[in-house]
Amino acid sequence: MPANGFVPRRVFFEQAAMEYPLGKALYEKFRRDTAEVKIIGSHNRVTGIPGKTPLAGYVEAKHTLVVGVRRGLKFETCKPSAHFQLPLVTSCPGMCEYCYLNTSLGKKPYVRVYVNIDEILQRADSYISEREPEITLFEGAATSDPLPVEPWTGALRQTIEFFGREEYGRFRFVTKFTNVDTLLDAVHNGHTRFRFSLNSDYVISKFERGTPRLAERVQAAARVAGAGYPLGFIIAPVILYQGWQEEYTGLFRQLRDSLKTVEAKDLTFEFITHRFTARAKTNILGIFPETALPMDEGERRYKYGQFGYGKYVYPPEVFGEVRGFMQSLAEECFPGARVEYFV
């Protein structure tokens, strides 16, 4: 396995997955090398993940891989980053305390991959055809980080080369992980934007458990830029703490220095400030009761979102300060880059 690839403790196979070549190949591989392998009826109803406490169950789920068939082929929309989600993977082995998937995927957010990749890409092709001659953009990481499981499935490489052949289709995904080498020689034709989620050393070490450090991500980004991919960075969540300005300045300057020797094509940035819902706070405290995440509602503004529920965000004066500071950093270090959004 390449560095930072996902090595599960247990693997559950949906019975229907065994009807696909990838499902059969993965079963034979894991049956030889993994202690616990089971056949189950549905990838949506998984039992047998241990853990007597919320934290123990969460950690064990993050070490569990479920191999299934994606049946629902109606793609969800994906504002503001793309037209549609592309469902290649669900969940992620990273254990970031702030992650919104802690709310949407339940108390045991196991990692799920799909073996019917050809069918998923055929559906994407039909969406592209319906919108021609407009470009249709697909997001591959709306509910996951697809890179850690790439050594098992090859789904990202297959998808990148699929979009490399599409005149009117484009693909984008984001990752915190660094096992990029099997994708560097993929025939992408500039149709895939490879993005990295970055944060300050403090945020990564304090809240992004089980993920590579900043220096490793930046080095991987330089390799991706050298392979000619359009490159992007999500700085998220921007969290305010003592010394945040200095640390985020260090992030940008470290990134600038790492990319000096390569030509980063069509560079983009996306910024997302820290926010949380009441439900997310309850779930986070249930799993990480000692968390240092700043979740004092009295220091936030309550704002209704596009999905019909409210969240606690930084008040306007704080948000304005953060936005001005971060955008000035981007302009100083990467004057030719484009900021796609700041929320």
Give the length of the chain. Answer: 343
Q: What pLDDT digit, counting tens, does each position of 208-248 carry? A: 999 999 999 999 999 999 999 999 999 999 999 999 999 99
Question: So what's the pLDDT on residue 307?
Answer: 60
Question: Residue 207: pLDDT band by 50, 70, 90 thresholds?
Answer: very high
Question: Residue 288: pLDDT band by 50, 70, 90 thresholds?
Answer: very high
Question: Residue 101: pLDDT band by 50, 70, 90 thresholds?
Answer: confident
Residue whose C-alpha is closest to residue 197's, from 213, 176, 221 = 176
Question: So what's the pLDDT on residue 308?
Answer: 64
Q: What is the DSSP letter of 91?
A: B
Q: Which residues neighbour 148 within 8 Å (Cβ) at sequence distance 6 or greater?
A: 4, 5, 6, 92, 93, 94, 111, 177, 179
What is the amino acid identity at position 134? E
Interatomic CA distance for residues 241 and 35, integer angstroms: 43
Average pLDDT of the segment spanning 18-39: 93
SS3 112: strand
Interatomic CA distance for residues 258 and 250, integer angstroms: 12
Question: So what's the pLDDT on residue 249?
Answer: 98
Residue whose C-alpha is closest to residue 198's, from 257, 238, 146, 227 = 238
Question: Residue 309: pLDDT band by 50, 70, 90 thresholds?
Answer: confident
First and final C-alpha spacing in the chain: 37
Where are the extended beta strands (E) located within the chain?
10-14, 36-40, 64-68, 77-78, 82-85, 89-90, 95-96, 111-114, 136-139, 169-175, 192-198, 208-209, 230-238, 265-273, 301-304, 310-313, 338-342
Residue 306 has pLDDT above 70, yes or no: no
Interatomic CA distance for residues 24 and 270, integer angstroms: 39
Q: How many CB atoms lie within 10 A of CB 223?
A: 16
Domain ranges of the chain: 70-94+110-342
Interatomic CA distance for residues 48 and 37, integer angstroms: 11
* CATH class of domain segment(s) 70-94+110-342: alpha beta
Residue 259 has pLDDT above 90, yes or no: yes
Question: So what's the pLDDT on residue 3?
Answer: 46
What is the distance of C-alpha 155 from the center of its chain? 15
Query: Hey, CA dihedral for 269, 131, 227, 140, is it positive or negative?
Result: positive
Q: What pLDDT digit, counting tens, does each position of 163-172 carry? A: 999 999 999 9
Residue 106 has pLDDT above 90, yes or no: no
Tokens read off for 5: 């690839």
Burial of 52 (0-12, 13-18, 19+ CB in 10 A): exposed
Question: So what's the pLDDT on residue 1?
Answer: 39
For 39-190, where are the alpha helices, taking DSSP H only? Answer: 54-62, 101-104, 117-131, 150-153, 155-164
Residue 82 has pLDDT above 90, yes or no: yes
Q: Kindly report whether the peptide bond that precedes residue 87 is cis, defined as omega within 30 degrees of 0.
A: no
